[in-house]
Amino acid sequence: MKRIACLLVAVSLLGLSACTAAPATESPAPTSTPTEAPAPTPSPSPSDSAMLTGIPGSHIKDIQLGVANFGMDDDSADGAPDGAPYRWTASKSWDFPDTTILLDYSITGDEDSQLISGSFGVTWDGVTESDTFNTIASTYLGFIATVPYDTSNTQEAKQWVSDQIETVAGGDPVSTTIGDATFTLSGTLAAGADVPSSYLLQIDVAN
């Protein structure tokens, strides 16, 4: 339990701090071959028009710095999906005397390093007692919910996670929209037991 207490104390006073987004790279202007007739106005390529835009005012570096407090400081760039130039993933296992808890995340960012979407998971292999797991899940996911962006309300988002964490497992996912971001929380139950086995927080650009 000492390791659990240290983990919770280490992050309870921390918040996701804002950082300067990386400047977007300016694409070269398209060129056309001169002809006798006036050249038509060039249309954007499919890849350009399909590029996604993240949550205004968010910065993926804030999340990367935040999850480092949970030991996830070795994130790796992975193949980004269509429309997202950046993607990062990382995970961290915490071993306790009778169980192991796994934290993970996967985020995608746009050309201005704004968050397009992120999934943040907590999983364990315990089947008898859930207070420890729920406490760590609420701490990690509640902390993630405080990611800053232009229209954020960090206290509201953190409280929403805390309110939902103990009842969502085994039921339907629940969602809330705060400004320009939508938060969706889901959870699963351990096979043959009425205790949670995983939680997942998804953050997306609000429609």
For residue 189 the two structure tokens come to: 């139950």
Q: pLDDT averaged over the chain?
A: 79
pLDDT digits 0-9 by tens, 13-32: 445 544 433 334 444 444 44
**Domain definitions of the chain by residue range:** 46-205
CA gap 14, 70 in Å, rounded: 11
CA gap 18, 62 in Å, rounded: 6
* Long-range contacts, 103-106 (Cβ 8 Å, 24+): 103/67, 103/70, 103/71, 103/72, 103/140, 104/72, 105/63, 105/67, 105/72, 105/144, 106/78
pLDDT digits 0-9 by tens, 120-167: 999 998 767 788 899 999 999 999 999 999 999 999 999 999 999 989
For residue 135 the two structure tokens come to: 């406490």
Instruction: Report the candidate in 165, 178, 120 with the shortest Cα–Cα distance to residue 144.
Output: 120
Residues written for the chain: 207
Q: What is the DSSP string of 30-47?
A: P-----SSPPPPPPPPHH
